[in-house]
A = this chain, B = another copy of it.
Amino acid sequence: MTNALTYQNKTSPITLAIDAMGGDHGVKATVSGAALCHKQHKDNKFLFFGDKEQIENAMSRYGSLQSVSQIVHTDKVIAGDEKPSVALRQGKESSMRLAIDAVAEGRADAVISSGNTGALMAMSKMVLKTLPEIRRPAIASVFPTKKGETVMLDLGANSSCDSENLVQFAILGAVFAKIIKDQKRPTVGLLNVGSEDIKGPDHIRVAGEKLRMIEFPGIYYGNIEGNDIPRGTTDVVVTDGFTGNVALKVAEGTSELIAYFIRDAFTSSPLAAIGALFAGGAFKKLKKRVDPRFYNGGMFLGLGGICVKSHGSSDAYGFSRALLVAGDLVSNNYNQKVAEELEMLREREIMESLGESV
């Protein structure tokens, strides 16, 4: 991900619909996050949904943010533990749902929420629908690697997937990587338990065969293994939502564990503590490279509108990163590009099937 996300294509100002109440820190994080985003992109507009008084209070510190913001009041909030089915039925006036509606009705270009993931996915699917041809949306995110960054999907939207889902995820992921990593043809790997083509479950093998045959916006690399993700072997990693979710959390947990071991090691002796003092800058650099806030933002790819899930524990900086990613997807016409790719794929398939039968 380039540090300064740049908006290239969309010329009219972008409007971001913000679920102001979602996440552990509510308006404190969402409004201040918008202020940080505003600093970088003066022409963005913000549409806040939530408790008007709270939002206004939080915004009072940011004069210039006020001039590009609008608030839609609601006192309904989707709880973090609300079941998606209940949120769907009873959450129609919630800040989350109203923000999604704004995208569906063309009043905003993207919706961003730190709230309940399941509810956000269910309501987005219901309201924004999926893109034509896309059977299931996927959650994608960006990971730090030895070579830069890697996009991985699905991170939890679909606990089991068939080969067709995986092929679609490859396309969704490749277009996303093109935009976010500014690469012509990103490499795409299928997460498996071995690199040989014959390895692993059938649906992965079949997806690999298909990806090898079709033309799509990426280059199919083949099977990759778990350690290839942090190595950055491919630009995009495709997997089912169960495996992706476990992989994401194992990576987070391992980072936490090593940070804990580092703290422990550097406080274990006076000499080490002196070393840590000298190495303060190095630690800062290290911390920055694995800062989960920088990589915040689970993109719901494959929906009829741009929807970004920010981590529930996001602070202002983390939330601003999610807003920047959302803006980047909008300004680069992500959904239009995916739709074009799918259309071309379908055309080729029809032509091939004609070629076979004629």
Interfacial residues, chain A to chain B (CB-CB below 8 A) = 144-146, 156, 159-160, 191, 193, 200-201, 225-231, 239, 241-243, 245-258, 260-262, 264-266, 268-269, 271-272, 274-283, 285-286, 289-290
> In the complex, which residues of chain B have a beta carbon less than 8 angstroms from the beta carbon of A258?
254-255, 258, 286, 290
Shortest Cβ gap from A7 to chain B (Å): 30
Of chain B, the residue at the smallest CB distance from A239 is B246
Contact of A275 among B193, B265, B275 (CB under 8 A): B275
Interchain residue pairs A-B with the least CB separation, the first 8: A275-B279, A226-B249, A275-B278, A227-B253, A272-B282, A230-B257, A265-B282, A230-B253
In the bound assembly, the distance between CA atoms of A228 and B285 in angstroms comes to 27
A145 CA / B254 CA spacing, docked (Å): 9
Residues in B with CB closer than 8 Å to A226 are 245-253
CB-based contact B144/A242 at 8 Å: no
Does the CB pair B279–A272 fall under 8 Å?
A: yes
Partner of A286 from B227, B228, B262 at Cβ < 8 Å? B262
Q: Flag if B278 contacts A271 (CB, 8 Å).
A: yes
Chain B nearest CB from A81 CB (Å) reads 9
> Given A230-B257, A252-B227, A289-B261, is A268 in contact with B282 using a C-beta cutoff of 8 Å?
yes
